[in-house]
């Protein structure tokens, strides 16, 4: 088997195993159901702000449930292979550790792509249905028509896929040296939280009243943990008339891909010396 064939084989098996888990189906149904529940607000007349509320609700739900799926699935599939000794059997064959680790990550990332597509599809349907009603009300009252960019939803889906890919790669990197399932999950969620609080940490590090050691920790966190807030651009992509510039979009995507590659290689560096 060639290098790419072995990676594809591991990724396909990982994707199939993860997709069959009830946890994946549960999060898909829960996330889609909560987005549909937001339609219960249709008897309130919020104008354009209602679309913003539904969109923000959907954006937050996609990242929240996607992050939980990313961390739990990555750790569970990785430690299942270790605990069942299937990883040892697989690595005894002509499969390198790098191929094993990258295949695991790729399988989880593909699953996250399916999750993002399904959730963004539900969100687009909910927004389209409500936007039609709001447009009728706005036309009758002579108000500005609501803005809803479906191309922006597609770009947002790509953004979220890359952001969740960072979370998955970060989790794989932690799992590559962690000895227990709980430790890997806790550390991954802490890193995820720090990634979401990058702007807060940057402001804290710049404050003159902060102590030296706390400023050092804050600065280290902003440099060595990816800034996940960079991908919170759903409103600008979907509800803003101008959207984002192509330069800003490609810059954010390049940032995400660089971090994914770096985290996967860090995980490989730890995994090479791990006893299985």
Read off the pLDDT of each residue in 64-71 and give the average, rounded to a whole number. 95
Q: Would you state the pLDDT for residue 107?
A: 95
Q: Which of 75-79, 113-117, 178-182 has the highest mean pLDDT?
A: 113-117
Q: Which of 130-144, 191-205, 241-255 has the highest mean pLDDT?
A: 241-255
Read off the pLDDT of each residue in 120-135 and give the average, rounded to a whole number. 83
152 CB-near residues (< 8 Å, 6+ apart): 236, 237, 238, 239, 243
- What sign does the CA torsion over 90, 96, 97, 101 have? negative
Read off the pLDDT of each residue in 130-147 and give the average, rounded to a whole number. 69
Q: Would you state the pLDDT for residue 63?
A: 94
Q: What is the CA radius of gyration of the chain?
A: 21
Judge whether 126 and 105 are in contact, CB under 8 Å: no
Read off the pLDDT of each residue in 152-156 and give the average, rounded to a whole number. 91
Q: Would you state the pLDDT for residue 200?
A: 72
* 3-state secondary structure (DSSP) of residue 251: helix
pLDDT grade, residue 142 (50/70/90)? Answer: low
Q: Would you state the pLDDT for residue 220?
A: 66
Q: Would you state the pLDDT for residue 215?
A: 65
Q: How many CB atoms lie within 10 A of CB 218?
A: 22
Q: Would you state the pLDDT for residue 149?
A: 83
Interatomic CA distance for residues 107 and 267, integer angstroms: 16
- What is the separation, in whole angstroms, between the first and last Cα of the chain? 23
Q: Considering only residues 129 and 62, tell me which one the structure prediction assigns the higher pLDDT.
A: 62
The whole model's pTM is what?
Answer: 0.89
Q: Considering only residues 46 and 57, tell me which one the structure prediction assigns the higher pLDDT.
A: 57
Q: Any alpha helices (H) in 142-245, and if so which ranges?
A: 150-175, 181-196, 198-206, 212-224, 234-238
Interatomic CA distance for residues 165 and 263, integer angstroms: 10
Q: Would you state the pLDDT for residue 47?
A: 47
Q: Over the chain, what is the mean pLDDT?
A: 84
Among 15, 263, 246, 38, smallest CA distance to 129 is for 38
Read off the pLDDT of each residue in 72-81 and give the average, rounded to a whole number. 90
Query: pLDDT tens, 112-122?
Result: 999 999 999 99
Least confident stretch, 35-49, 50-64, 214-228: 35-49
pLDDT grade, residue 263 (50/70/90)? Answer: very high
Query: pLDDT tens, 155-171?
Result: 999 999 999 999 999 99
């Amino acid at each position: 088997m060639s290098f790419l064939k072995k990676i594809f084989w591991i990724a396909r098996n990982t994707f199939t195993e993860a997709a069959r888990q009830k946890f994946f189906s549960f999060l898909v149904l829960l996330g889609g159901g909560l987005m549909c529940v937001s339609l219960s607000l249709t008897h309130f007349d919020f104008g354009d702000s209602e679309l913003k509320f539904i969109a923000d609700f959907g954006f937050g739900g996609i990242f929240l449930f996607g992050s939980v799926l990313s961390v739990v699935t990555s750790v569970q599939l990785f430690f299942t292979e270790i605990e069942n000794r299937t990883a040892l059997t697989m690595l005894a064959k002509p499969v390198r550790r790098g191929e094993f680790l990258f295949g695991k990550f790729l399988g989880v990332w593909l699953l996250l792509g399916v999750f993002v597509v399904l959730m963004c599809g539900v969100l687009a349907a909910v927004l389209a249905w409500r936007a039609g009603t709001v447009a009728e009300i706005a036309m009758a009252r002579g108000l500005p028509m609501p803005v809803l960019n479906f191309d922006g939803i597609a770009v947002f889906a790509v953004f979220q896929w890359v952001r969740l890919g960072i979370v998955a790669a970060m989790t794989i990197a932690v799992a590559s040296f962690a000895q227990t399932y709980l430790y890997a999950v806790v550390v991954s969620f802490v890193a995820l939280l720090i990634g979401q609080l990058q702007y807060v940490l940057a402001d804290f590090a710049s404050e003159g009243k902060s102590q030296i050691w706390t400023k050092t920790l804050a600065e280290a966190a902003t440099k060595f943990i990816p800034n996940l807030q960079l991908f919170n651009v759903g409103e600008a992509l979907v509800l803003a008339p101008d959207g984002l510039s192509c330069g800003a979009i490609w810059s954010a995507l390049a940032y995400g891909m660089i971090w994914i590659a770096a985290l996967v290689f860090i995980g490989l560096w730890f995994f090479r010396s791990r006893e299985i």
